[in-house]
Chain A
Amino acid sequence: MSVLVYTESDKGKFKKNALEVASYAHNVAQELGTNVTAVTINADDDASLGNYGVSKVLKVTNDQLDTFNAKAYANTIAQAVEAENAKVIIISSSADTKFLGPILTAKLNAGYVPNVVAAPDSTSPFVVKRTAFSNKGFAHTEISSETKIVGVSNNAYGVHENTVSASIESFDPVLGDSDFTTKSIEIDKVVGKATIADADVVVSGGRGLKGPENWGMIEELAEVLGAATACSKPVSDLGWRSHGEHVGQTGKPVASNLYIAIGISGAIQHLAGVSASKTKVVINNDPEAPFFKAADYGIVGDAFEVVPKLIEKLKEFKAQNA
């Protein structure tokens, strides 16, 4: 009757969200008076999960699962749930997990609440707080089915250390051809750069930057901060930047620690998608830009003057704090 957590890894290394969902699972398990079992797929350092409250790891090692496959992964997790007789399952909110979550839900006949931002309000009845209406509201949602799935929002609960010793057992799911009816044939992914989903800092540019040729300073600022780059919707619609960088209600959600918006007016659809970020900084030459109302810090000024200065100051800061 343990709490089961799916801890995602990429090329063997746990993602940051894996440690966050493990921490969350530990909280729920304590509440329910039970332990946390993690299921890992082709991960290297399973024992490290013990630092985040996982007492048992079901370790899956399977070449067929080297590339993410939603159906096969969901089936793997479902079999681990059954083996452990788990009634509460904790998963993240990455693109991959949001892909496999609904499949798992249907397989287990389990109620699923994604975008959860806090530890459960209560566990009997089981009620969690989640964002709704694209971050314009929160819902307190009860999961009434016997098996429950909680999808924890990125960067909402945080990583908490709780050291226990983790026992590791290998686990062999039974998978067949019917689990691989969708095949990955090509992956085109930036390497060695922070992604919008994982980055602590996101630097975003809007139409105020006038054209794609002016993105050099955005990229330089991002590099100094170890940040991912993003943009507003018109910027991607105009083809200045790729669609993958478009953030907001109809683009990627952002929930970073720091979001820097440069030459972005702060339309409601843009804010809806980025407001989960903890600290928001706006650089805009129009003091009336709506984004200033939603920001923590702002500079009213011309991006072409302010951004190069900011880069310079950050470099100085880094040199001093190196």
Chain B
Amino acid sequence: MKILVCISNVPDTTSKINFAEGDTKFDTNGVQFVINPNDEFGLTRAMWFKEKQGAAVHVATVGGVQTEPTIRKALAIGADEAIRINAEPTDGFFVARQLAEVVKNGGYDLVIAGRESIDYNGGMVPGILATLLDMNFVNTCIGLEVDDNGATAMREIDGGKEKISTSLPLVIGGQKGLVEESDLRIPNMRGIMMARKKALNVVEPIDAPKLTNDQKFEKPAAKGPVKLVDAENVGELVNLLHNEAKVI
């Protein structure tokens, strides 16, 4: 089995979000970038397939040279090879087109992407990719098994979960649940040394249109101070929720 894990390079979850150039760009100043958490769960599941079922695991990212530390980290965690498509990932459709080329040329059976990137929250790339390539697709995937008969996936739904039977070639949009938090791996020294010797192939993007364009950003309005209610006077909270907030 040949697996491609799609890695989105995103600001660390603790980052303060600011905008620059007249609020037209995300301000990367002082921001630390990491593997998108949803992709980290996917990569960890891919490692399981590598160790238990002998899968080959490649990782791909669409991004500039500044994304290389993130993709090196994926190699240090255990991916065999990396591909960087040298373009700014400004639109989900554009990114999916680039990844579709990689998947087609590489003959992958399973593509593990994330439910969404935590930066632009598009939640688009895996579904578009699957449709462009006519591969099966399971989103919000929280469990995946693959054997000779096909694939069984668990999907999170509103209010519960759903078990799905399907077959390869398959794309998933993964999230926490694919593996447990405690299964996540921090690269060790040996992994980091080995990653230096692994291939990181840079390919140029294909021509693809962008269908959406972020024109301007803004931050949420500052919040007023909290109204504190005395712990001895809980009834006052009920009163405020009913008469002031009008939510009960």
Q: Which residues of A contact B (CB under 8 A)?
A: 70-71, 74, 94-96, 98-103, 105-107, 109-115, 127, 131-145, 181-190, 193, 195-198, 200-201, 225, 233, 237, 243-244, 246, 249-252, 257-258, 268-269, 272, 275, 278-279, 281-282, 292-302, 305-306, 309-310, 313-314, 316-317
| Residue from B127, B140, B155, B242 within 8 A of A105 (CB atoms) | B127
Q: List 28 A-B contacts (CB under 8 A).
A: A95-B157, A101-B124, A101-B127, A103-B127, A106-B96, A106-B127, A133-B118, A133-B121, A138-B217, A139-B120, A140-B214, A140-B216, A141-B213, A182-B136, A184-B163, A198-B159, A225-B248, A233-B181, A243-B142, A244-B160, A249-B118, A258-B241, A269-B14, A279-B247, A296-B226, A297-B241, A299-B229, A302-B231
Tell whether B162 is near chain A: CB-to-CB under 8 Å: yes
A44 to B184, CA, bound (A): 46
Among listed B52-60, B81-89, B103-111, B172-180, interface-contacting one: B172-180
Cα A294 to Cα B225 with chains together (Å): 8
- Report whether over half of chain B's contact residues are helix, strand or loop; otherwise say mixed: mixed
Find out whether the CB atom of A112 lies under 8 angstroms from the CB atom of B226. Answer: no
Given contacts A105-B127, A182-B136, A299-B234, contact A137 B158 (CB under 8 A): no
- Asked if A313 and B226 make an inter-chain contact with CB atoms under 8 angstroms apart, the answer reads no
Which residue of the partner chain, among A110, A145, A181, contacts B136 with CB atoms under 8 Å?
A: A181
The 4 closest A-B CB pairs, nearest first, are A102-B127, A301-B231, A111-B211, A189-B160
Whether A139 contacts B220 by the Cβ 8 Å rule is no
Contact A132 B120 (CB under 8 A): yes
Chain B: interface residue total (CB-CB under 8 A): 82
CB distance from B37 to the nearest CB of A (A): 5
Complexed CA–CA distance, A139 and B159 (Å): 29
**Residues of chain B with a CB closer than 8 A to A131's CB:** 121
The complex places the Cα of A180 from the Cα of B139 at a distance, in Å, of 15
Chain A interface, DSSP helix/strand/loop, else mixed: mixed
Asked if B223 is at the interface of the complex by the 8 Å CB criterion, the answer is yes
Residues of B in contact with A (beta carbons under 8 Å apart):
11, 13-14, 17, 19, 26, 37-38, 91-93, 96, 118-128, 130-132, 136-140, 142, 152, 155-167, 175-177, 180-182, 209-220, 223-224, 226-231, 234-235, 237-238, 240-242, 245, 247-248
Which residue of A is nearest B170, CB measured?
A: A182
A142 neighbours in B (Cβ, 8 Å): 212-215
A-B contacts besides A141-B214, A182-B165, A196-B158, 8 pairs, CB < 8 Å? A111-B91, A114-B121, A137-B219, A143-B211, A145-B211, A182-B166, A187-B162, A237-B181
